[in-house]
A = this chain, B = another copy of it.
Amino acid sequence: MSRAPELRPLDEGGFVKEIPSKAGQFSEWYTAVVLKAELADYSPVRGCIVVRPYGYTIWELMQQGLDRRFKATGHTNAYFPLFIPQSFLAREAEHVQGFAPEVAWVTRGGGEELSEPLAVRPTSETMIGHMYARWIRSYRDLPVLINQWGNVVRWEKATRPFLRTMEFLWQEGHTAHRTAEDAEAEARQMLEVYRDFVETDLAIPVLSGRKPESEKFPGAVRSYTIEALMPDAQALQSGTSHNLGQNFARAFDIKFLDSDNIEKHVWTTSWGLSWRVLGGIIMVHGDDRGLALPPKVAPFQVVIVPILTGAEREQVLAAARSLAARLGTTVRVRVDERTEVTPGWKFNDWELRGVPLRIEVGPRDLAQRQVILVPRVGGGRRPVPVDGVEHEVTAALEGVHGELFRQAKAYLDGHIVSAATPDDLVAAIAARRGFVRVLWCGAEACEQSLRRASGASPRLITDDPADGRCIACGSPAREVAYYARAY
């Protein structure tokens, strides 16, 4: 990861700097938006980022939206240790194979070499499995519905802010159930919670479905996923939910006495969503002017820019502040009172930062008892009367959310294509057509040959009826897989 160029504070006068074109230099555009909108910065530790206040506030609002949904579905939060004994990771065979290469190891502490190295958690199934074995005794203790907010570490070679970082913040839910059916229902319920959150709060439409065997979480029986499509036609896995069956219950001996007086292993799930989705917000909604934030997670939903020219300067400022006080009871609002930059500079600055709605208040507006509303997307700059402006602001914010979702949905719908042959698949992926729908017999050999030929992977399997033949081998199809290149 290269070091960032020096950042000049945005409020030092001068002009907001140009950012690369989103269509032409997508990767450079992404990095520029992350840095210039002050969402994050590179850190001196390879692969770790610093999330700056503006970016972190978006994450806090995302946390609130998710946490509310977790609690509404009966979950509570808890906290488990950062460190995991080496022997724990090894207890579940697929799990250790999946994670061992990515682990950071603490080998010294308090001035001494440790007799058993401690893994910095890459995920907490093993630690939590151990504790559940202590806590769960009876069917009356089930279900156990716990979520954890925290940091995890996975040693990554190539990293990009939010999308792939060595340390990242996320939540991981871990539940234990009495029956296989309960665990399956939980895994599906939490996938739906993710879909609802990402579409309703973040205005990002997704495909949801099941992961093929080759892409399952290490140790899972079934993994579910929501996948969003980025503007470069690559998929972003945005949330996953796993039915772990009894794999971890057996590995950690998590048993309960059922009402029939028989001791049984529990059935567990886990599910997680990370700050990676914040990267999705940037990519999906941004444009050549910078970030465009969905109102539900925008640190400032409204910015008021007073036009401080001429004699009415004080009156305009007072009107802007009074408007902010009125709006502040229902929306997150900020008045930009800086005097060292021009109104035009401020417009650019807040557009770069993606504030959903700008309100301009000038001397002439004051005289006409009106203000100017300028939504970040969808156009429609227009004067509205100061009286009743609350209603107009609420409507404008809903309009911005709707427009962001509409644009993203149009892009997604326009980038789902079908392939009837392996050549079709290869051509569609090369042409960046997005998700490519493929009939598949379910054989691993066919999947491998399609992967090799296209450079894409099967992102998810849907419940669509698989009427036809496998495009690789011609046998009767059993499943419909969606292929894409992926982050």
Contacts and interface: CB of A to CB of B under 8 A. Distances in A.
Nearest to A101: B111
A134 B7 contact: yes
A135 B79 contact: no
Contacts of A108: 104-105, 107, 117
Interface in A117-135: 117-118, 120, 127, 130-131, 134-135
Contacts of A309: none
A364 interface: no
Interface string A37-80: 00001011100111111011101100000000000000011111
A85 interface: yes
Contacts of A84: 45
B51 A78 contact: yes
A137 B81 CA distance: 39
B140 A81 contact: no
Contacts of A31: none
A48 B80 CA distance: 8
Interface residues of A, number: 65
A260 interface: no
A7 B48 CA distance: 39
Within the oligomer, what is the number of copies of this chain? Answer: 2
Nearest to A130: B44
Given A104-B106, A155-B109, A50 B77 contact: no
A396 B84 CA distance: 44
A12 interface: yes
A131 to B, nearest CB: 6
Contacts of A57: 76-77
Nearest to A120: B106
A356 to B, nearest CB: 19
A335 interface: no
Interface of A: 6-9, 11-12, 41, 43-45, 48-53, 55-57, 59-60, 76-85, 88, 101-111, 117-118, 120, 127, 130-131, 134-135, 137-138, 140-141, 146, 150-151, 153, 155-157, 167, 169, 340
